[in-house]
Amino acid sequence: MDYVTLAKHSVREYAPDKIFEASQKAKASIARLGEDQVINSTLGECLDDEGRLMVLPVVEHLLRTMPVEEICSYAPIAGIAGFNEAVEISLFGEGKNRFHVSAVATPGGCGALRHLVWNFLDEGDAMLTTDWHWGPYRNICEEHGRKLETFPMFDDQDNFHVEAMEESLEALLKRQKQVVLALNTPANNPTGYSMTKEEMDRTVEVIRRCGKQYPDRNITFCLDVSYIDFDDTFERTREIFDSIRDMPANTMALAVFSMSKSYTMCGMRCGALVCLGETEEAAETFKAAMSYSSRSVWSNVVRAAQKVLVDINLNPELKAEADRQREGFKKQISARGQAFYREAKEVGLKCCPYRNGYFIAIPCENPARVAQILCEENVFVVPLAKGLRFSPCAVTMEKCLRAPKLIRAAVEKGKEESR
């Protein structure tokens, strides 16, 4: 094509992001028909019952009173002073935990996933995750010359499918030197499922065994805990980290940390890739390698967001206040999700097992067509490969109760059409 000098690998269609596209349609319908007539369940941001973005008041206060120098000057590559400690407190609580924690600031959890895919896999390798997963996992892999492979997330009892994970992990270990298993839990996007402690124990046991059985392979186990503060209590959600122990030396455990949900700061682009190091040396090697990667891609990360994280977590009073405010948000979102899930059962709409959090997934045939049918009813959901995603985080309680019946009818209609 004339006047286009793109390298071959970068000549690609930009398929409009499905979530963004559905949300634009919903907004147009709201403008035409009014808020009450439309169920816009597309976005992954928490909206209150008046449709306003939910932002922790502590966060808003800190941002509005921050000196301009803290906002505008560069941050050190790995994070500002106190960042590592603040991430550690946010993820593990006060007091010494048994990992050597090393956190490198990234632009959101997205940036952390980028560092994971680039630095822990070789060219052409596949990352392993569940079949129900957040869409950008695949984009991030492909953008970096890697692939995504999946295994069925649930067995026929709707429990986490440890056996399927084991089978896929072994298959990868036979092919690749570098192996990454990424699991998004608790409050998984898009299902709202949280792995139990027992499921995590069994998963880590598989990694332990595989590590020993394949001593010439490197296994990275990454927990994407972006929604960790929107599930159960602090103590119970952190039990999954207790499973990670007695790991062989050819393994490393990482976590994707995001400020988008826990600190309601999605637009401020801050998160971290976190090493749960078994030794100090491993944690330091991780930090050096990730810092190199950061310097070469985005340099440093939004300073104001890091400052908010540090100011909250290193000040027990502010932290208690932020925790209290977040607890209110969490309760509201979970109450909506639980209401949708109960009502779905009531009307016979099959959902993936939901525990808590922003999203619920509805398995169905021909998701794109079902989403289109729902569009005609002014219900906007996100079509995924295996079903639909509904977002209780963005929809009032009244609409969460109204939606399941409408979705069930559309799923049935979609089924009939494909017969």
Binding site for ligand PLP (CB under 6 A): 44, 108-110, 134, 184, 189, 224, 226, 256, 258, 260, 266, 271
Does residue 389 sit in helix, strand or coil?
A: strand
Q: Which of 109/211 has CB closer to ligand PLP?
A: 109
Min dist. Cβ of residue 388 to ligand PLP (A): 16
User: One-letter amino acid identity for 115?
Assistant: H
Residue 393 tokens, joined: 């985080």
Q: Report the C-alpha gap between 224 and 242 in whole angstroms.
A: 16
Q: What is the DSSP string of 64-88?
A: HT--HHHHHS---SS-STTHHHHHH
Cα gap 277→308, rounded to integer Å: 25
CB of 110 to ligand PLP, least distance (A): 3
Helix or strand (DSSP H, E) at 266: none
- If the CB atoms of residues 271 and 277 are measured against ligand PLP, the closer one turns out to be 271
Amino acid 91 reads L
Tell whether the torsion through CA atoms of 327, 333, 335 and 338 is positive or negative: negative
Beta carbon of residue 133, minimum distance to ligand PLP (angstroms, whole number) = 7
Contact between 237 and 196 under an 8 Å Cβ cutoff? The reply is no
Torsion angle of the four alpha carbons 142, 145, 149, 153, in this order, in degrees rounded to the nearest 10: -50
Minimum Å gap between C-beta 116 and ligand PLP is: 11
Nearest distance, CB of residue 346 and ligand PLP, angstroms: 28
Exposure class string for 54-79: b at 16+ Cβ within 10 A, else e? bbbebbeebbeeeeeebeeeebebbb
Which whole-number Å values give the CA distances from 211 to 98, 169, 197, 208, in the listed order? 21, 11, 21, 5
Closest CB to ligand PLP among 149 and 377? 149
Considering the complex, state which of residue 117 and residue 266 has its C-beta at the smaller distance from ligand PLP: 266
**Based on CB atoms, which residue is closest to ligand PLP, 146 or 217?**
146
Question: Counting every residue, how long is the chain?
Answer: 419
CB nearer ligand PLP, residue 110 or residue 364: 110
Residue nearest ligand PLP (C-beta atom): 108
Q: Are 207 and 219 in contact (CB under 8 A)?
A: yes
Q: Which amino acid is at 148?
A: L
The continuous run of DSSP H or E covering 374 comes out as helix 367-376
Nearer to ligand PLP among residue 19 and residue 410 (C-beta): 19
Dihedrals φ, ψ of 88, to 5°?
A: -60, -45
| Residue spans of beta strands (DSSP E) within 108-177 | 126-130, 147-151
> For 277, phi and psi rounded to 5 degrees?
-70, 140
Least CB distance to ligand PLP at residue 393 (A): 10
Closest separation in Å from C-beta 224 to ligand PLP: 5
Q: Indicate the residue among 29 and 306 with the shorter CB distance to ligand PLP.
A: 306
H-run or E-run covering 357 = none
CB closer to ligand PLP, 29 vs 41:
41
Q: CA-CA distances (angstroms) from residue 367 to 108, 226, 258, 345?
A: 29, 26, 29, 20
The minimum distance between CB 118 and ligand PLP, in angstroms, equals: 16
Q: How far is the CB of 189 from ligand PLP (least distance, A)?
A: 4
Least distance to ligand PLP from the beta carbon of 20, Å?
12
For ligand PLP, the closer of residues 19 and 101 by Cβ is: 19
